[in-house]
């Protein structure tokens, strides 16, 4: 492993802030890092920015995957046109989602079986204590459940964005405690070591859990639309992907560990989902197989304003205007200012910057947005 500077490229249109430059430079000189890529939606976050793709040969950097391991998107079409959703239907949907898809935890835990077990008793205990109560929940922040109109066909689609809830951060923090490295923000594990293999096992567990979480929410939404409106969900056309993970892939004949923190895997023909904001369009895409981006794309629009700044500068009245024509929970209006469309980058520009990375297959506009903020 050499310590020479890694290769670097970004797909951003704006100049990097000094803070983002500093984070990027730290990654470029980190041990065993061979490539660093910033996607079009990249923005500052703790330790490693969101929208970052990092490649190593042997070392795993948990901070370059993040806490919400396995966070991702699921999208399915419903058997009805989007015009079906009017104020009366929206009110009924919100009322039912409140208890069918809780934000934080279930009143009663849900047992779950995954293909693998966690690597140690402490994490297994957290899974039994917290994981059971958080399965089928949405979470706060930018996580959402949205009904969308397909621009071409007018068909109604359901999109779900959530992850591994409290389990991902628990796994990250446990293994960071057992990691090596002088920098607290860039500790690492050797993939061939016992601890490295344990982290990789637990990361795969978290991805499975996040996947199961989205499918549990889909199951409940399928029952809701069937029971209330006799509307079917076509799971045969489901798109399901995640954007906080570790991939072992070959790039230009070199086997690499690809860390993605807020970035989609878009190998040639691979389907992915790139949402905008709760007031802007989302996109279904397929990858063009661009090795220069390490077969990656943005995972969304990306923030251009911190949550704190958004809360300070965006008023409820301003947000209400931004969400004109979209159904949302009006009692949450003040809390939703941190998720205002203007706190995100322009999704049209983000998509234009990655034309060589992905091909758009479907464009969807928001009709109803259910968020946990």
Number of domain units in the chain: 1
Residue 200 lies in a domain: yes
Residue 319 lies in a domain: no
Confidence of residue 2 (pLDDT cuts 50, 70, 90): very low
Which range of residues forms the domain containing residue 127? 7-304+344-371
Residue 202 lies in a domain: yes
Residue 313 lies in a domain: no
pLDDT digits (tens, 9 = 90+) for 145-187: 999 999 999 999 999 999 999 999 999 999 999 999 877 779 9
Residue 338 lies in a domain: no
pLDDT digits (tens, 9 = 90+) for 23-81: 999 999 999 999 999 999 999 999 999 999 999 999 999 999 999 999 999 999 999 99
Residue 325 lies in a domain: no
Residue 327 pLDDT > 80: yes
Q: Which residue has the higher pLDDT, 27 or 252?
A: 27
Q: Are the C-beta atoms of 62 and 183 separated by less than 8 Å?
A: no
DSSP code string of 198-233: HHHHHHHHHHHHHHHHHHHHHHHHHHHHHHHH---B
Sorted by sequence, the CB contacts under 8 Å of residue 95 that are 6+ apart come out as none
pLDDT digits (tens, 9 = 90+) for 348-366: 999 999 999 999 999 999 9
pLDDT digits (tens, 9 = 90+) for 293-312: 999 999 999 999 999 999 99
Task: Give me the CATH number covering residue 361.
Answer: 3.90.1860.10
């Amino acid at each position: 492993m050499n310590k020479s500077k890694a290769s670097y490229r970004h797909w951003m249109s704006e100049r990097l802030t000094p803070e983002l430059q500093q984070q990027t430079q730290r990654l470029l000189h980190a041990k065993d890092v061979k490539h660093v890529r910033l996607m079009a939606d990249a923005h500052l976050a703790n330790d490693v920015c969101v929208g970052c793709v990092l490649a190593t040969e042997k070392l795993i950097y948990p901070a370059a995957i993040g806490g919400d391991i396995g966070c991702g998107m699921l999208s399915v079409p419903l058997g009805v046109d989007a015009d079906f959703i009017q104020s009366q239907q929206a009110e009924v949907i919100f009322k039912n989602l409140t208890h069918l898809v809780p934000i934080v935890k279930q009143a009663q835990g849900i047992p779950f079986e995954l293909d693998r077990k966690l690597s140690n008793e402490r994490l297994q205990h957290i899974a039994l204590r917290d994981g059971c109560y958080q399965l089928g929940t949405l979470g706060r922040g930018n996580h959402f459940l949205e009904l969308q109109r397909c621009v071409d066909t007018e068909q109604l689609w359901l999109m779900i964005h959530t992850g591994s809830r409290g389990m991902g951060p628990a796994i990250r923090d446990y293994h960071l405690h057992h990691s090596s490295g002088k920098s607290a923000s860039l500790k690492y594990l050797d993939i061939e070591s016992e601890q490295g293999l344990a982290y990789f096992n637990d990361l795969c567990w978290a991805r499975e859990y996040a996947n199961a979480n989205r499918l549990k929410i889909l199951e409940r939404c399928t029952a809701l639309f069937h029971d209330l409106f006799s509307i079917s969900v076509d799971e045969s056309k489901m798109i399901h992907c995640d954007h906080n993970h570790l991939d072992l892939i070959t790039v230009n004949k070199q086997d690499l560990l690809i860390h993605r923190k807020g970035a989609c895997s878009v190998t040639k023909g691979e389907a992915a989902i790139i949402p905008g904001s709760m007031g802007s369009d989302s996109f279904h895409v397929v990858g063009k197989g661009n090795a220069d981006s390490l077969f990656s794309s943005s995972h969304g629009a990306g923030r251009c304003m911190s949550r704190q700044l958004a809360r300070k500068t965006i008023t409820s009245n301003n947000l209400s205007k931004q969400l004109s024509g979209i159904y949302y929970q009006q009692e949450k209006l003040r809390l939703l200012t941190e998720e205002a469309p203007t706190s995100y980058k322009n999704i049209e520009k983000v998509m234009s910057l990655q034309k060589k990375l992905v091909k758009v297959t479907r464009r969807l506009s928001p009709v109803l947005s259910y968020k946990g903020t």
